[in-house]
Structure 1
Amino acid sequence: FSQLSIFSELNNISNVSMDEPYAAVCGITEEEMLERMLGHIECLAGALEMTCEETRLKLKEKYDGYHFTWPSPDIYNPFSLLNALERKKIDNYWFGSGTPTYLVEMLRKFHVLPSEVGHSMQAMASDFDAPTEKMESIVPLLYQSGYLTIKGYDKEFGMYRLGFPNREVEEGFVRFLLPFYANVNKVESPFEIQKFVREVRSGDYDSFFRRLQSFFADTTYEVIREQELHYENVLFIVFKLVGFYTQVEYHTSKGRIDLVLQTHKFIYVMEFKLDGTAEEALQQINDKHYALPFASDRRKLFKIGVNFSAETRNIEKWIVEE
């Protein structure tokens, strides 16, 4: 009702949106799924050549995790869950049902970086009902539209902690952002990420960085007028997407992203510089012993120093030490 904003507010109604007794009224709980849909899960498991337990865990990772108050049972997205069981395929059904270009416009309007979405965002209960035209932050929009959900609650301050509900939403959201920040169109985007992952898994770091260079090439000045932020945004999005298929640990800071990327065969320890040198970046890896935690690991380790040039608006050089 708060979204109508046409006439005066309705009186004498009870808003049960965040009342604990009604927490499971929308969506499907795991108990309901296992009680009513076990046969369908067994059929899905057969189609995927997985055990029922493996299939249940896959469904949980992909579609579970919504909370409409705290505490709350985990709620599955009914649209995605029912599509997966009917089609016998685990896919991104909910995110593919819409084209949220409006979200990108709002991210820019409220000066929110992609790396900030779903990371330690907080809100009070009153924030969730803010009409769209009166929003003072992007949080109500992300919550109301299902991109964020409640992950915890601080009783002392009455603050809710928010985050992505599941992998379907998080991966879909980050995938959608890529064409808006890099030199790649919506059709090519999924294939480019697939190539990134294959190159990382095979140890072909040169092809990886040449492809990353192409993501920065021919980007209009209007898009990259905030040079350091654009540089960080593209790197964050690419490594976030690669991280859905490999193990990635990173932290962001002004002007650089430091990163450790792990596959079954390889470990990559990377240091990024802005208007420095690749040699300086590699030297920092060695001086600060970034690779030390992996000294006893049998996988092949690559130490990679990378420099990004503000003048060319691209990756200028990378050097590798094995």
Structure 2
Amino acid sequence: MANKIYPIGIQNFEKLRRNGYFYVDKTAIIYRMVKTGSYYFLSRPRRFGKSLLLSTIEAYFQGKRELFEGLAMEQLEKEWKKYPILHLDLNIGKYETADSLDKILDEALLKWEAVYGTGVGESTLALRFKGIVQRASEQAGAPVVILIDEYDKPMLQAIGDEDLQKTFRNTMKPFYGVLKTMDGYIQFALLTGVTKFGKVSVFSDLNNLEDMSMLPDYVGICGITEEELHTDFKDSIQELASSLRMTYEETGAELKEFYDGYHFTENSIGIYNPFSLLSTFKHNRMGSYWFETGTPTYLVELLKRKRYDLENLEKEVTSLDVLNSIYDDDSPIPVIFQSGYLTIKDYDRRFKLYSLGFPNREVEEGFMNFLVPFYTHVNKVQTPFEIRKFVDEIECGQPDAFFRRLQSFFADTPYELARDLERHYQNVLFIVFKLIGFYTKVEYHTSEGRIDLVLETNKYIYIMEFKLDGSAEEALQQIEEKHYALPFDADPRQLFKIGVNFANRTRNIEKWEIMI
């Protein structure tokens, strides 16, 4: 067996090291960071190791050399100095009211003031923080280290509430501004979060903060690289392979398909999701571990509110300015990218444009399944069973049964989606055929609001043309006139040509015609 205790949910470096949990050594990267700069910001998706990173840095600045025995840091660091540390974790609170952030910050400040004292005239949160930094440094005879975990949690929870976001922003801006005004008392500072909020001025005055999120040198500071996977987890992969009755190579390929694929800058190595990978090795089975630990409801609400064309999730092209900002009135893409549901797939150096897409199958399939209840009447529990029935009907050559089931997906269209029926039809079709595509071969493209689709199984080929307020006969005629079936003339599989019409009046599939 792989003799490892996997640190699922362990975010404290000292606990991890003292209790024998397995650790992928990131300390050489940490050493380079602390020796070449003072103020950093890091954006990474949830459960990617940000909290453990901060805890590791805290142990380093506490001078706890014994915790780094056998790691790169033990050989790299020669001095092991001790510094006063102010560690703030904003992940602990719920930010639903205007004073909720103030209460969390006040609690942290009171704790620090109990150690370092209070100052005259420190009447605001920012002034109290400033006084604590100065007194901590003076009392310790060393500059302060400031670590802030999930700095953006209040802003994320307030998405969709502009007044609440403004309130939080007005609190955060002067509070974080202390990092610049007290530079002489600060040795090192790192803020982590999921999003950047570049366009809402949280950091507008903090221009000494270096954003390492997309720097090539720090791509692997969180998550697991391909090299680390096959060096540190070789025995784990072999054990998983035996459990799955697969070869080592086949298992490695499956792990890559499901959990690799995060690219945080252009032309970079792929990063594996650490939570899913470690969970897979601990339980010796593949699973949607990362996706199932968090529900992206707020992201789906954004997509619905903006009437977003879901097909663009696979081919979104955007600029660095958009990737480095948070959701605004124009696009939900920044927060979806920064949350880890989309990643960089390609980069056009000439025009400085980034092509986005799903990082891996876990995210892609999980996100598509999660979308179904938001766009149809089919609930979360029913979704996998419904998709299985779709696939069975397609694989058994039963297109009539398939389309009757598809009709049920359009039944009782939610009112807010019915206002843009054409986009709603497109999105539901995209979701359904995307999910079916994990088990059969699906090719589709959209043109002027219509979806032309080819679906292939071992025995059957389906060519489909969709119309809105036209006729099924007209759609079928288009398949004939444009020779959509020509590429399959020599194919021995049975071919179905299917014309489908949607009707605005009924808000559903009105009719389909099948030609064999």
Confirm or deny a common fold (TM above 0.5).
Answer: yes
What is the CA-CA distance between 1:136 and the residue it aligns to? 4.5
Which ranges of structure 2 fall in alignment gaps of 5 or more residues? Answer: 1-40, 42-150, 156-168, 181-207
Does residue 81 of the first structure (1) align with residue 277 of the second (2)?
yes
Match of 1:202 in 2: 396
The correspondence of residues 162-173 of structure 1 with structure 2, limited to 5 A, is 162-173=356-367
Of 264, 269, 292, the match for 2:486: 292
Mapped contact 2:313–2:356 kept (Cα < 8 A)? no
1:7 aligns with 2:173: yes
Aligned to 1:29: 225
| Structure-to-structure mapping, 1:256-271, within 5 angstroms | 256-271=450-465
Which shows bigger deviation, 180-189 or 13-22?
13-22
Give the equivalent residue in structure 2 for 1:117: 313
The percentage of aligned residue pairs carrying the same residue is 58
Instruction: Say what the alpha-carbon RMSD is for the aligned residues.
Output: 1.8
Separation in 1, partners of 2:322, 2:420:
30
Aligned pair partner of 1:281 in 472, 475, 481: 475
Comparing 208-217 and 312-321, the one that deviates more: 312-321
Whether the 8 Å CA contact 1:228–1:254 is kept in 2: the answer is no
Match of 1:127 in 2: 322
Which residue in 2 is equivalent to 1:224?
A: 418
> Secondary structure of 1:94's match?
helix
Query: 2:377 corresponds to which residue?
Result: 183
CA deviations on 1:149-204 (whole Å, 9 max, x unpaired) are: 12222333333222211111111111111111112111111211111111111111
Q: Give the Cα separation in 2 of the matches to 1:262 and 1:312.
A: 30
Choose the corresponding residue for 2:331, options 129, 132, 137. 137
CA 1:276 to 1:136, structure 2 compared with 1: closer, same or farther past 3 Å?
A: closer
> Unaligned 5+ residue runs, structure 1?
none
Moved more, 2-11 or 100-109: 2-11
How far residue 256 of structure 1 moved from its aligned partner, in angstroms, is 2.1
Q: Which amino acid aligns with 1:249?
A: E
Deviations 1:4-26 (A, max 9, x none): 74133443333221111111111
Q: Does 1:42 align with 2:238?
A: yes
Whole-angstrom distance in 1 between the partners of 2:420 and 2:229: 47
* Paired position in structure 1 for 2:341: 147
- Pairing partner for 1:93 from 277, 281, 289: 289
Residue matched to 2:256: 60
Q: Could you list the per-position Cα deviations for residues 211-234 of structure 1 after superposition, in whole angstroms to 9, with x for gaps in the alignment?
A: 001111122433312121111111
**Residue 301 of structure 2: aligned partner:** 105
**For 1:111-150, what per-residue CA distance to the aligned partner results, in whole angstroms no more than 9, with x for missing partners?**
32211123133121x4333255x57422220121001112
Distance 1:321 1:276 in 2: 18
d(CA) in 1 for partners of 2:258, 2:270: 13
Distance 2:250 2:260 in 1: 15
In structure 2, relative to structure 1, the CA distance for the partners of 1:318 and 1:120 (3 Å cut) is: same
Between 5-14 and 301-310, the greater mean CA deviation after superposition: 5-14
- Range that drifts further, 198-207 or 147-156: 147-156
Task: Give the corresponding residue for 1:301.
Answer: 495
Give the paired residue count. Answer: 320
Identify which of 238, 241, 248 aligns with 2:442: 248
Do the aligned residues in 1 keep the contact of 2:347 with 2:354 (CA within 8 Å)?
yes
Partner Cα separation in structure 2 for residue 64 and residue 227 of structure 1: 36
The amino acid across from 1:127 in the alignment is V
Q: Whose Rg is larger?
A: 2
TM-score (norm 1): 0.93
User: Residues 220 and 154 of structure 1: is their aligned pair in 2 closer, same or farther, counting only changes over 3 Å?
Assistant: closer
